[in-house]
Amino acid sequence: MSTLDPGRLEDARDVEAADPDGMLRQVASSAAQIREARRAAAEAGVEALAEDGRPRAIVVTGMGGSGIAGDVLAAVCGLGCPVPITTVRGYRLPGWVGAADLVIAVSCSGSTEETLEVAAEAARRGCRLLCVGGAGSPLAELAARGRALFVPVRSVGQPRSTLWGLTVPLLVAARALRLADVPDEVLESTAVLLEDVAHRCRPDSEPFVNPAKRVALDLAGDVPLVWGTSPLAEAAAYRMCCQLNENAKYPGVYGALPEADHNQVMAFDGFFAGGGSPADPDDFFRDRTEDAEHGLHLVVLRDTDEHPQTAKRREASVEMARARGVAVTEIIAEGAHPLERIATMIALADYVTVYLAITLGVDPTPVTAIQELKARIA
C-alpha cells in the first residue's frame, strides 16, 4: 500500500534510495540518446530509404513506450505532411497496407509479439520495411531475412525510457524522404534543451525551485485530466498518461483541445470536481491551497503554436476549471522547432511522473502487473 509523503523529495539521498533501479538516470539520458541514435541511423544507412522514392503511407507498429515513437513522428511531421502516418498497436496490419507503403517496426527489446507479427505480415505483403530495436533480437533476425534496414538501439533500462533512441531513427527516415525538416542542428539543439530540463529537474534541486517536483507534489492524490493544446501537445499528453501509469502506477486521462471541450470539460461539474480553490497569484504551479481536498486536476500541456480558437478555448477552459475549484497546472513547451517543443513537454512530464512515484512510496521502475499478464497468456 503506497503512502503519500512529500518529504521524500526533500533530500537527494532519499530520492535516490526510493529509485533503486535508477529511473531518474534513465530519464536524464534523453539527450545522449538523441546523439547516439543519430549516429546509429546514419551507420545503418537509413538515408537509403529515399532511393525508392516517397511511400504512399507510413505505418509504425509498436507497443507501449516503443509505440510512442510513431506518435512523435506523426506530430513532428505535422498536419502538412503529404504522406499519412499512422501507428498500429496490435497484432494486425490494416488491409489497405501494401507494397507502396513503408512499415516501420519499433521494439526496444526486439521481441514484442504484436510488433513481430505485424512486421512479418508487412514482409509477406512486400511492404518496404524498416526495423528499429534491440541488436541480436528476433526483430533483427526478421529484418535480415526480409532484407530490410535495421537500426540497433541500446536500451537505457526500460523501453519507456528509451523513447528518443527509438524515435530519432524514424525522424532521420522522414528527413530522408523529405517529410520532415529535422536537420542535425535541430537534433542537437533538442538534445541541449533536454540537458537543460534535466539540470532543472535534478534530484538535488529542492522542490521549491524544481518544476517537476513541484508539479508532482501538486498532483499527488488528485485525478489528472491531461490536455494538449495542439497535435504535438496531444501526443505529449498521451505520453504523460502512459508514464503516470507505468512510473507512478497512477491513473491519468488524456485529451486534446478542442475535442475535450465537447466532452471531458463536463467532468468539471462532476464527482471529482471542487477539490481545489482559486489560484495563488504568487505561485506559478500551485492553483489550490495546501489544505484543499483532493479531486480533479487539469494538466494543460500548452504548445506555443496553437490555433487561435484553440487558444481561446484553453483560456476559457482554465478559467472555468478554477471557478469550479478544479486545480490547474500548465506545462509550456520550450523551443521553436516542433521537435524541441514536444521533447521539452515530454521531458518535464517524465520527471513529474517519477517524482510522483517517489512521493507516493512507489518504485518507479518495475512493471509487475505487465509481467504477470505476459506470463498468464504465454
pLDDT score for 281: 40
Q: Which residue has the cell 501526443?
A: 235
Angle between helices 64-77 and 163-176 (to 10 degrees): 40
Q: What is the DSSP string of 80-130?
A: T-SS-EEEE-SS---TT--TTSEEEEEESSS--HHHHHHHHHHHHTT-EEE
The grid coordinates of residue 304 equal 506555443
pLDDT of residue 289: 39
Flag whether pLDDT at 212 surpasses 90: yes
Model pLDDT, residue 293: 63
**Is the pLDDT at 129 greater than 70, yes or no?**
yes
pLDDT, average across residues 50-70? 97
Give CA–CA dist 164/34, Å, rounded: 6
pLDDT digits (tens, 9 = 90+) for 82-127: 999 999 999 999 999 999 999 999 999 999 999 999 999 999 999 9
Write down the pLDDT at residue 275.
55
Q: Is the pLDDT of residue 168 over 90?
A: yes
| DSSP state letter for 6 | G
Q: In the prediction, which pLDDT does 294 show? A: 76
Question: Are 62 and 103 contacting, i.e. CB atoms less than 8 angstroms apart?
Answer: no
The contacts of residue 270 (CB under 8 Å, 6+ apart) are 296
- Note the pLDDT of residue 99: 97
Least confident of 172-186, 197-211, 212-226, 278-292: 278-292
pLDDT digits (tens, 9 = 90+) for 286-329: 444 344 467 999 999 999 999 999 999 999 999 999 999 999 99
Least confident of 1-15, 215-229, 344-358: 1-15
Question: Would the pLDDT of 195 be above 60?
Answer: yes
Separation of alpha carbons 198 and 218, rounded Å: 20
Q: What is the pLDDT of residue 283?
A: 47
Indicate the pLDDT class of residue 278, thresholds 50, 70 and 90: very low
pLDDT of residue 285: 47
pLDDT tens digits for range 336-368: 999 999 999 999 999 999 999 999 999 999 999
Average pLDDT value over all residues in the chain: 94
Q: In the prediction, which pLDDT does 1 show?
A: 64
* Position 282 confidence tier, pLDDT thresholds 50, 70, 90: very low
Distance CA 373, CA 266 (A): 34
| Residue 136 φ then ψ, to 5° | 70, 20
| CA nearest neighbour of 162 among 152, 148, 172 | 152
Q: What are phi and psi of 11, to 5 degrees?
A: -110, 130
Burial class (CB in 10 A: 0-12, 13-18, 19+), 81: middle
Set of cell numbers at residue 191: 538534445
For range 165-176, the mean pLDDT:
98
Question: Is the full-model pTM beyond 0.85?
Answer: yes
What number of CA atoms fall less than 13 Å from residue 153's CA on the CB side? 33
